[in-house]
């Protein structure tokens, strides 16, 4: 077996998508990659605890501690490069990365977005907001999208999508949960698995 691709996961909150990735690695879905680093821009993120429980090196890196965006990104890059990271996964990471940062890791950063891009995406559409927008618009189908990250928010090449039907009586919270369970936690690990196989085989 060739050496596994090294994965870093960037998080801001509870880390449910991180957990889906950890579970997928343990179950063998992600067979050519290994999560070796978790970075959060939020010192209080539960995702850091999830990482530590799974035996994964975890760091909190904040803009405040590093004097703003440039210092923050420099610290993140130092961690990523020290580990020889092949693939960066944004899993509920709520900080916009600069064009310079994204270009440095061209086609090595992917993101999971809780809507079917190009619907309900771009600046300001994070957390519950895409689900609120979908319900307000009255769409019958929403879902999730895995895409490469470029300098445009949610503007990178789409890797995969999965649809989720909206049900009568859905609230933003129930819809968010169902999109996670029926779409995000399925297509994100699968995309990571596929990309890592490509990296290892390249």
Helix axes 185-201, 16-27, angle to 10 degrees: 50
Superfamily of domain 5-201: Formyl transferase, N-terminal domain (3.40.50.170)
Report how far apart, in Å, the C-alpha atoms of 5 and of each of 87, 100, 105, 147 are: 7, 23, 15, 19
Stretch 65-82: mean pLDDT: 97
Instruction: Just list the catalytic residues.
Output: 113
Domain extents in the chain: 5-201
| DSSP-H helix ranges across the chain | 16-27, 46-53, 69-82, 99-104, 129-137, 172-179, 185-201
- Selection from 122, 109, 110, 97 nearest residue 41 by Cα: 97
Residue 31 near residue 62, CB atoms below 8 Å: no
Q: What is the tens place of the pLDDT at every residue in 91-112?
A: 999 999 999 999 999 999 999 9
The answer to whether residue 2 scores a pLDDT higher than 70 is no
Confidence of residue 120 (pLDDT cuts 50, 70, 90): very high
Q: What is the tens place of the pLDDT at every residue in 144-153?
A: 999 999 999 9
Looking at residue 66, its pLDDT comes to 96
Residue 92 near residue 15, CB atoms below 8 Å: yes
Stretch 72-85: mean pLDDT: 98
**Residue 183 corresponds to which tokens in the numbers above?**
């779409």
Contacts of 64 by beta carbon, 8 Å cutoff, 6+ apart: none
Q: Which pTM was predicted?
A: 0.96
């Amino acid at each position: 077996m060739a050496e596994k691709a090294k994965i870093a996961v960037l998080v801001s909150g509870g880390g449910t998508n991180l957990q889906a990735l950890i579970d997928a690695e343990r179950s063998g879905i992600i067979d050519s990659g290994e999560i070796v680093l978790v970075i959060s821009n939020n010192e209080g993120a539960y995702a850091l605890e999830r990482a530590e429980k799974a035996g994964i090196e975890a760091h909190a890196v904040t803009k405040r501690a590093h004097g703003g965006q440039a210092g923050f990104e420099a610290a993140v890059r130092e961690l990523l490069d020290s580990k020889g990271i092949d693939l960066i996964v944004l899993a509920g990471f709520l900080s916009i990365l600069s064009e310079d940062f994204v270009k440095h890791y061209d086609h090595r950063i992917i993101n999971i977005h809780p809507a079917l891009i190009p619907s309900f995406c771009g600046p300001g559409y994070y957390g519950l907001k895409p689900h609120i927008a979908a319900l307000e618009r009255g769409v019958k189908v929403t879902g999730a999208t895995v895409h490469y990250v470029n300098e445009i928010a949610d503007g990178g090449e789409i890797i995969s999508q999965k649809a989720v039907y909206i049900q009568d009586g859905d609230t933003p919270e129930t819809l968010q949960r169902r999109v996670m369970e029926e779409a995000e936690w399925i297509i994100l690990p699968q995309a990571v698995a596929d990309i890592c196989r490509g990296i290892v085989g390249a």
